[in-house]
Amino acid sequence: MTPKLQIRLDSLMPPFDGACVHNDDELNLGQLREILTAAIIELSKKYPTIDSFHDWHEHDGFIVDSKSESWNTLRLAIQTDRTLFNSRHGDFAVRIAVCPTSYDWLLRYNIDEDDESDYNSATCDFDLTVAKHAKKSDIAGYLLSNFPNLLVEHDSHSWFKSNYGG
C-alpha cells in the first residue's frame, strides 16, 4: 500500500468502501492476461492517468510510494504470457498495483513462480477494488460476467483486512 491508500483502507474511504472482484482459485498466466486485458481496455477509456507501485500488503505490509505510470507500460506487459511473467515483482506475494489519483479503483496482480526456468508453472492472482461511487462504470460487473468461473466479489474492506500479511 501507499501511505494514502493505507489511510483510506483504515478509514473505509474509496476505493475500500465498495466491492473487490478477485480470483477464488489460482490463475495461470493465460487467464490472468485475459482478465488484465479486459480490465485495462475498460479502465483506460475513463482514466487516462494512473499511478503504480509494488504492493506489499499480503507479503509484510510494507508501505511504499507510488509513481506516475502510463497505460502503455501495462499494455506492453500483457502482450504475451512471457512478458506478463517478466513484469512480476519477483518476491513472494508482492503485487503490481495501479490506481487513478481519484482512488475510484485499485487494480492489482501477482505472479509467483514455482520454477523460474518454466514460467508456465507460475500461479497468479488478480483483484480489482472499486469504490462505491464508481460502481456506475460497473467494471466489476463487466469482469464478473465475462469471467464467471474465475472471479468472485466480496466487500473490499473486509477482504483487504483478511489478506494483510504484516
Residue 140, helix vs strand vs coil: helix
Number of domains composing the chain: 1
pLDDT tens-digit map of 69-116: 999 999 999 999 999 988 877 676 789 999 999 999 999 999 987 666
Q: Whole-prediction pTM value?
A: 0.93
Nearest to 154 by CA among 7, 10, 18: 18
Q: How many CA atoms lie within 13 A of 75 on its CB side?
A: 7
Q: How far is CA 84 from CA 105, 154, 155, in A?
A: 21, 26, 28
- Enclosing domain of residue 85: 3-162
pLDDT of 57 reads 81
pLDDT of 9 reads 95
| Residue ranges of the chain with per-residue pLDDT less than 70 | 90, 92, 114-118, 135-137
Gap between the Cα atoms of 7 and 21, Å rounded: 21
Q: How far is CA 89 from CA 55, 132, 136, in A?
A: 9, 29, 32
